[in-house]
Structures are given as C-alpha cells and as structure tokens.
Amino acid sequence: MGHHLSIDIETKSSVDIGKAGMYKYAQSPDFGVLLFAYKMDDGPVQVADLAAGETIPDWVLDELVDPNTVKHAYNAAFEWYCLNRAGYETPLEQWRCTMIHGLYCGYTAGLEATGKAIGLPQDKRKLTTGKALIRYFCVPCKPTKTNGHRTWNLPKHAPEKWVLFKDYCKQDVVTEYEILKRLEPYPVPDAEELLWQMDIRMNAFGVRVDEDLIQGALAIHEISNENLTKEAVDVTGLMNPNSPAQLKAWIEGRISGEISGLTKENVTELLARNDMPNDARRALEIRQQLGKTSIKKYLAMKAAEGEGGRVCGLTQFYGANRTGRWAGRLVQMQNLPRNYLKTLDEARNLVKEKNYEGVRLIYGNVPDILSQLIRTAFIPSEGRKFVVADFSAIEARVIAWLAGEQWVNEVFATHGKIYEATASQMFHVPIEKIAKGNPEYSLRQKGKVATLALGYQGGSNALIAMGALGMGLTEEELPDIVQRWRGANPRIRDLWYAVEGASIQTVLTAQPHAINGLVFALESDLVYGQHFLTVQLPSGRKLFYPKPFLQENQFGRAAVHYYTVGQQTRKWEVTSTYGGKMTENIVQAIARDCLAETLRRIEKKGLQVVFHVHDEVIIDAPLDVTADEICDLMAEPIPWAPDLLLKGAGFESNYYMKD
C-alpha cells in the first residue's frame, strides 16, 4: 500500500490565467511558486514558504518522483504543470485529480462549491478570504508613488496578510483531502485515469495558430467596422446608428409601423419582409454585420497563444456533467462558426495580407468571411498536416444498438442512408423512391429532422428546436411526424420506459436493476452519508446522480429527482429527470466512450491528437498518415460493444475546417 501526498501551491505570474489559461500562465518569465502546502497520509498540513526563501524538504522532493506515492491535488493538472515548469520534477502518471473524481461522481467543479455540495463541515471548507489575497500577492500591482513604484507585493509589504495567505493555502489541502476521503468508496476507473493523463498531455502539447491570419483578421475587422459605421451614419442620418433605440425609431418611421426590437432574430425577420425600403434594408444589413461577435474568437486565440505560437488547454476532461464528455475552454471549440466558402485558400491569403478591399470586392460581407475563417486559424505543426475524422451519425447508431432497433442497425450495416430509411418507415414509401428528382424526396427532410430530434422522447417542440419550421414544415404536421417516428421505432420508445422504470424501481427498492446491458444501482456509504443512483455503462464506467429521491414532477407523475448544478442558475439544486432524458445521458455517454476508445487507438499508433470536438478528432500528423487509416480505427469493433457498427468520415488539410 503506497502513500498519499496531498498538495496545494500558490503561484505568481503577470499572465491573466482566466484569459490565457494555466499553460501560458506558467510559461511566463515572471512565473514562480510562492507557497507549497502538503500533507502526507493522515499527518498534519505543512507549508514551505518559498517566497521567504524556505525550500521544499528533500524527503518531499523524493516523494514527488516516487511511483509508490500517489500525489493528489484539486485540479492536479495545475500543480503538475506548474511544479515541473518551476524545476520540481514529478511525473504525471503518479498524480490523481480530486476535481476529476468529484466530476466523475456527479459533483461540480470548484473546491468551494464541491465542499458545500458534498456537505463538508465548516472547518473543513475552503476559506473565502483567498480571492483578495491572490489579487494582492499573485498578480502584479500598479506602481504608484505611495507603494514606492513597486510592481509586485511581497510578504514583507503586508506580513499579516501573508500569514492569512499561508493559512488559506493550508486549508485548501485540508478541503481537498476531506473531499477525497468522501469520494474514495466510489473510485474513478483506471481507464478514466489514463484518459485524464492523455487529455493533460494533449493540452500541454497544444495546437499551433496562424499568427498572420489572426493579425490580418483583427486589422481587417477594424477597417470594416469603421467603414460600416460610417455608412450607417450616411444611410440613416443618425448621430449614433449603433443605438438600438435610435435605429428602431428610424426604421419605424420608414415602414410606418412598430417593430418588436432589433435582436439578431428580429433583424433576420425584418430582412425577410417585402415592404422594407432599400435604405432601411441596408441599415439592417449593416447592423447584422456589425453584430458578428466572431472577432472575439481571434482575440481569445491571441490572448491564449503561448510558447511556439501554440494555444494550450483547449479542452476540459469530464467537463460535461454526468455524461463525462469533454468541454471546450479558452477559445470554446464546441461552438465555432461553420465555413461554407469554396475558396478558403484565397480568402485566407487576402486576410493574411490585410487586404480589406480585396475581401470586400470578392466576398461583399467582410464580417461573415472573418467568421468563416476562424476554424482555419488552427494549423498543424511545421512539416505536418491535420488529419480530421469524425463519427457518422453516432448517436443514432448508439441508441439503435442499445435499444435493439434491428431495422436501424441493418441500415447502418448496409447503405447507411438513415434519413431516407427513416422516412421510408414513417411514410411507408419504398426507399428507392426517396431520391433526388422524385416528389417523394421531400420526405427525406422529415426523416432527417425526426432522426435528429426525436430519439430522446421529445415531441413537436423538439422538432421546432431542431429547426423543423425553417425546413418548410408547418406546426400542424409536427404531431403526426412524432407519432410516425415513434411508430417506426418501437424498440427505442420501449427503451425510454425501461430506463425510467429501472431508475424508479432502483430508488424505490434499493435493489439493482439491469436492462439492455445497463445496470442501475443505489450506492451509499454510511460513514459520510454519500448517496447516489448510478448507471453502469457497457464500458464499465458509471453515471452518477447524487442524492436521488422520488417525488411527483410537474406533470403529476412519479419521477427521480437528484442534485446537480443548474444550467441557468449555476447553483447546486434539485432537478428531476425522466426516461428520455436519462436515455440521452446514457447514449451521449456511450458515444463519448466510443470516442475515448478511438483516442486510445490513435495514441497506440504514436500519433498526436491536438484537440477533439463532440465526435471529431484532429490529429497533428506526419505527412504519410491518411484519413482512411484513422477512419478504419474508428470503425474497428469495440470490445465492450462488439456488434455496435461505427463509421468514420475524414479528410486531410493544412488547416482546421468543416469539410
């Protein structure tokens, strides 16, 4: 049995960690470790005051590299990276992250919030005094006459604050250790620990960005904004055409009628009207172009760009609660604008040359072009190329496999045209007829929106949210589409009710229930009173629903309720769930495990993934690697789901884009 060393450090750097991320923060020339607090097994917390010239004891330095001592920290990636940057060697595979452990068990991120949610007693919780102390000692201060023009506050400038700061650092170790004790009965699987390490290595490797493109985009944006604003003044005669109130009144004067507002949606609706005079139309177009926020992504890249022109730390492991999917950080890769341009190379060159006139003459809408080029600012390392591959229709494949919806599995085993096949099942039309040029081809759209929207027990509103009305469907025909889709997919419909039944029965009887290769169980420990509903997935990983109980939901039906971080409130609160919602959690979690399987295979080949988004991987590859090789890896059977048919589609490129 090895030892446990819990660690917390306090550091200083002039780089804004919020905007630039921790990797660039620790790469700063003025980065340093101020305090090193540690606790060996059940021993007391000690602190080495490095700022005052103390050193970390030799025995602790030995423990930092001892494979029999597990190093623990809350957000351990930070401690591991910072210590190594500061010259204290310690291998990543010997570290464990208590934040990831908490996320795995369905808790929230943040030491303070997790301590509260888990129910730590007050004396074990994080001290709230930290923020002001961190601002005082860890970031540069403004040089003034009163402070003798110094740029950093040192311990000697406020000895009483420094004593508090040391207490704060020690208390973080106490809190981390107490959280760990409460989570130990619910271990993170070894496979997930290895994935976390892969994620940190990927984040530390980073991805290169095209500096010329970023500079060009920012320069062109400035000219474009200036010209558009000037044109808006000419067109409207207003002092400030950017003011919604002024512009709204002016437009109402042009069309003699009231308009509800000038939000993005309002402007799109107004531009679709036939009675819009040309000058008002132009004013609205300008507003639409000025409203593009895409430039923020370029600024985010610029802020996060560190050594070697690379951005590090783009993903957060286990960032999506419950399902364990990765979340985006810094540049938020999950919501990059799509690109539709056929001439990306030409557009990129014009922007790199800061050729505003060229972009305007050829493409017209300058902000839109800058927005489409954002993805292409991510580029491979020198002498390499990107190989990009993603899973085709993975959620549709996973849910059909899990539910045993045989006809869907057969579609994926043969021609793969799931939208046509779904329409054929829904409307009893031979699939051959649903082809371009035939009147029946319009049914494909209905098959597509139904496939994308209805897998998780959604109704008409789910179709609307998926954009059904924009596809030319009317609200009246939506309930019929819902009924037809459910009729065509009885096994998937049964899965929702089986999942709901199993979860309710498990909470009610405290006995495990197994359905379709999933195991529902109630797990609790008597010492600290932790209590979870868990769902074991085919991969062996579990989904956690903290503090579950049964109660009527807003529809008067018995439903499982549990605690989670509210999406709107960001607070720890009760929410309820139902069969379709839990099915969505389970299917997305299995899809995530398929991606994890692919990441492991890519690593085994010695290839470097630089980031991944949803179901897509981006590899910084040597020139001889092909997209077909990677797609083959994605299609290989998975040991825990041998009959799940997966397929990848990919391409190779000199920059990131949507193919």
Q: Could you read off the pLDDT of 547-601 as tens digits, one per residue?
A: 999 999 988 999 999 999 888 888 899 999 999 999 999 999 999 999 999 999 9
Closest CA to 542 of 318, 340, 376: 318
Per-residue pLDDT tens digits for 441-462: 999 999 999 999 999 999 999 9
Is residue 365 pLDDT above 90, yes or no? no
Predicted local distance difference test score (pLDDT) of residue 235? 87
Predicted local distance difference test score (pLDDT) of residue 519? 98
Alpha-carbon gap, residue 362 to 358, rounded angstroms:
6
Domains of the chain: 3-184 (3.30.420.10), 211-377 (no CATH), 406-488 (no CATH)
Per-residue pLDDT tens digits for 388-400: 999 999 999 999 9
Q: Let me know if 159 is exposed, middle or buried by CB neighbors in 10 A (0-12, 13-18, 19+).
A: exposed
Alpha-carbon gap, residue 607 to 198, rounded angstroms:
12
Predicted local distance difference test score (pLDDT) of residue 1? 63
Q: What count of other Cβ atoms lies within 10 Å of the Cβ of residue 130? A: 20
Compute the mean pLDDT over every residue in the chain, rounded to the nearest whole number: 94
Confidence at 158, pLDDT banded by 50, 70, 90: very high
Alpha-carbon gap, residue 338 to 392, rounded angstroms:
17
Is residue 375 pLDDT above 70, yes or no? yes
Q: Which tokens in the block code for residue 282?
A: 């132009």
**Distances 402 to 490, 505, 578, 593, 643 between C-alpha atoms, Å:** 13, 20, 18, 14, 10
Is residue 28 pLDDT above 70, yes or no? yes
Percentage of residues in the chain having pLDDT higher than 90: 79
Percentage of residues in the chain having pLDDT higher than 70: 100
Is residue 256 pLDDT above 80, yes or no? no
Predicted local distance difference test score (pLDDT) of residue 264? 85
Is residue 263 pLDDT above 90, yes or no? no
Predicted local distance difference test score (pLDDT) of residue 484? 96
Per-residue pLDDT tens digits for 159-199: 999 999 999 999 999 999 999 999 999 999 999 999 999 99
pTM: 0.92
Per-residue pLDDT tens digits for 196-221: 999 999 999 999 999 999 999 999 99
Least confident of 126-140, 257-271, 324-338, 589-603: 257-271
Per-residue pLDDT tens digits for 399-438: 999 999 999 999 999 999 999 999 999 999 999 999 999 9
Predicted local distance difference test score (pLDDT) of residue 356? 94
CB 35 within 8 A of CB 51: yes
Is residue 246 pLDDT above 90, yes or no? no
Per-residue pLDDT tens digits for 457-493: 999 999 999 988 888 889 999 999 999 999 999 999 9
Confidence at 609, pLDDT banded by 50, 70, 90: very high
Predicted local distance difference test score (pLDDT) of residue 248? 86
Q: Give me the mean pLDDT over the 522-548 stretch.
A: 96
Per-residue pLDDT tens digits for 505-524: 999 999 999 999 999 999 99
| Residues in Cβ contact with 386 at an 8 Å cutoff, skipping those fewer than 6 apart | 378, 379, 380, 618, 619, 620, 621, 652, 653, 654, 655, 656
Alpha-carbon gap, residue 44 to 64, rounded angstroms:
18
Residue type, 156: K
Q: Give me the mean pLDDT over the 86-102 stretch.
A: 97
Q: Give me the mean pLDDT over the 608-624 stretch.
A: 97
